[in-house]
């Protein structure tokens, strides 16, 4: 599996996610500077990592979404290629209009950094084949703007299309307001586009990919993607 990790000025989780996919599934990783318009030949997966691209000026992800490399990322996604945006990467995907919605400051108006329980809503996407629907996993979160927002009509339509993949939940799997760390509508932590090949995820699976980190729940995501690619993308 060949993975392209896009590096923007201000990215700070690029090396972390590169390490995670290398050690869990033996992926070949190439770091791609944002100024390029093209992805490496043979890329199977593009990752937009977490961090604070361009210092989060204007809006989180707004400037990165207009970087040259996003032209290549959009072409790749349009052809069915897998794209994963983690935390700031999810914000970039919304700013680039590759995913619907927008991000607002956490309802606490403070930076949140802690482990978080998530309920898996779908196990039929390229990113979740190794999970079970209803399973509760534990990924760390680290963000200031994680409140996912979408107007009610669009939100209802997205729910009907089953685009939500992960929700904030209690350790028992209950989706409650108390389990919602940032106020995201419908407790949305991760969602896919209508084609199912672009995933935006606020929590960090790369920080839950090895026993030394206290959780290996994130490793299942890399294994799912690898399985999907090895199977020719048809399941």
Which residue, chain included where needed, has tokens 């048809």?
234
Phi and psi angles of residue 105, each rounded to the nearest 5 degrees, phi first: -60, 150
Which one is catalytic: 95, 121, 145, 206? 206
CA angle (124, 173, 149) in 5-degree steps: 75
Catalytic annotation present for 87:
yes
DSSP 181: S
Partners of 45 in the β-ladder: 3, 82
Rounded-to-integer distance, Cα 110 and Cα 143, Å: 9
CA angle (220, 86, 169) in 5-degree steps: 65
Rounded-to-integer distance, Cα 26 and Cα 21, Å: 7
Nearest to 146 by CA among 183, 198, 200: 183
| Cβ neighbours of 73 (radius 10 Å) | 27
Which one is catalytic: 87, 116, 121, 144? 87
Catalytic annotation present for 235:
no
Catalytic annotation present for 116:
no
Which one is catalytic: 34, 143, 144, 204? 204
Sequence-ordered list of residues with C-beta below 8 angstroms from that of 38, at least 6 positions apart, any chain: 72
Structural contact between residues 107 and 182, judged by C-beta atoms closer than 8 angstroms: yes
Residues acting as catalytic residues: 87, 204, 206
């Amino acid at each position: 599996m060949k993975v392209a990790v896009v590096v923007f000025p201000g990215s700070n989780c690029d090396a972390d996610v590169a390490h995670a996919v290398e050690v869990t599934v033996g992926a070949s990783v190439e770091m791609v500077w944002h100024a390029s318009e093209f992805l490496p030949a043979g890329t199977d997966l593009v990752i937009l990592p977490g961090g604070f691209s361009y210092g989060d000026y204007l809006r989180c992800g707004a400037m990165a979404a207009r970087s040259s490399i996003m032209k290549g990322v959009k072409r790749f996604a349009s052809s069915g290629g897998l794209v994963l945006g983690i935390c700031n990467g999810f914000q970039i995907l919304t700013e680039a209009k590759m995913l619907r919605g927008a991000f607002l400051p956490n309802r606490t108006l403070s930076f949140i950094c802690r482990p978080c329980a998530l309920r898996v809503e779908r196990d039929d996407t390229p990113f979740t084949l190794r999970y079970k629907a209803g399973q509760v996993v534990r990924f760390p979160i680290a963000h200031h703007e994680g409140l996912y927002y979408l107007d009610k009509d669009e939100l209802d339509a997205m729910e009907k299309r089953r685009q939500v993949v992960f929700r904030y939940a209690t350790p028992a799997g209950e989706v409650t307001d108390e389990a919602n760390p940032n106020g995201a509508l419908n407790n949305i932590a991760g969602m896919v586009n209508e084609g199912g090949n672009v995933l935006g995820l606020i929590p960090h699976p790369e920080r839950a990919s090895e026993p030394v980190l206290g959780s290996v729940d994130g490793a299942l995501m890399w294994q799912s993607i690898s399985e999907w690619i090895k199977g020719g993308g048809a399941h």
